[in-house]
Structure 1
Amino acid sequence: MDDYPLLNLFWTMLWLFLWILWFFLLFKVLTDIFRSHDMGGWGKAGWTIFVILLPYLGVLVYLIARGKEMGNRDRALAAQAESDFQDYVRKAAGTDTQGTGPRHVDELSRLADLKSSGAISEEEFQKAKQKLLA
């Protein structure tokens, strides 16, 4: 371990970190190129060739030229994912689109109360329940 000083280890780790960071940035730019809906096929092909043939310059130019749109697309994608998740949760929980509460649970509870109070018969309860769940 004496032939590899601590400072050299620090520099090696720093370069390794920067190398991994660079690949992350390169893949982020490439995915953004193909995710972009405001660019045509030739534009996507041009940016891809530029980023692959001259990776350092291509990525930096892309970030300067289209960095703002890249951030906007990321925010729109996150908002869409959140909206889809909220819709899924509402659907799984049995709430309506306004999120005002369960649709069938309240109705079934009301029907059960009517049946237990004797206001409706078992047959009427079953018909109403089938109609509600259909």
Structure 2
Amino acid sequence: MGTTYLAYDFPLLSAFWTMLWFFLWILWFILLFRIIVDIFRDDDMGGWGKAGWLAFVILLPFLGVLVYVIARGKSMGGREIKHARAQQQAFDDYVRETASGGTAAARPSHADELARLSELRTRGDITEEEFRRAKALVLGDDAPSASATTAADTGTGTGTGATSRQ
């Protein structure tokens, strides 16, 4: 009479089968949670549809997951890509906003910019003419005032201008 050897009769095969089942269970739970997240992420499905799929996946997990992957597996990837792109866009917008000086509340106000310009004029870093031009730009005037332009054209201004200093 011959004896039958099972995989568990050999210690190395026993460890292999144990590890295989362990990783299959981990894979199963990852798939189950991804499907549950996909059910909630789908904007096209209504509340009753989400409730039905969720009940099916939770009450009959193996059959529910198998049917969900067959019925809606192709669109799962599309929703995952859409979500990843939305996250990347939000991150890019955050980086751009932070790099450009933050929100509008964090940007200096007109009063802050005028105070800084006044301080530069007081220290002598800019001339009166440069101060007037910069003040006009800060206050929203696209062109400097007429008197400042004529003074610069006739050469009667007190300074040589920022472009001639460089």
Q: TM-score, normalised by structure 2?
A: 0.58
Name the SS of the counterpart of 1:120 in structure 2: helix
Question: Match for residue 34 of structure 1?
Answer: 40
Residue 50 of structure 1 corresponds to which residue in structure 2? Answer: 56
Structure 1 residue 120: deviation in Å? 2.7
Matched with 1:6 is: 12
How far the C-alpha of 1:10 sits from its partner, in A, is 0.8
Match of 2:98 in 1: 92
Determine which structure has the larger helix proportion and give its number. 1
Deviating runs (4+, > 6 A) in structure 1?
Answer: none
Q: Structure 1, residues 79-134: CA drift from partner, whole Å, max 9, x if none?
A: 11111111111100007xxxxxxxx9xxx8xx7xx96353434xx599679769xx
Residue segments in structure 2 that go unaligned for 5+ positions in a row: 1-8, 102-107, 141-166
Q: Which has the larger radius of gyration?
A: 2
Rounded to whole Å, the distance in 1 between the matches of 2:28 and 2:97 is 41
1:77 to 57, 79, 83: 83
Distance 1:14 1:129 in 2: 71
Instruction: Note closer, same or farther for the CA distance 1:69–1:44 as it changes in structure 2 (3 Å cut).
Output: same
Shift in CA distance, 91/120, structure 1 to aligned 2, threshold 3 Å: same
Distance in 1 between residues matched to 2:54 and 2:135, nearest whole Å: 63
Q: State the one-letter code of the partner of 2:130.
A: I
Provide the alpha-carbon RMSD of the alignment.
Answer: 3.4
Select the residue among 59, 62, 67 that pairs with 2:65.
59
Percent identity between the aligned chains? 58
AA aligned opposite 1:91: E
The TM-score, its normalising length taken from structure 1, stands at 0.71
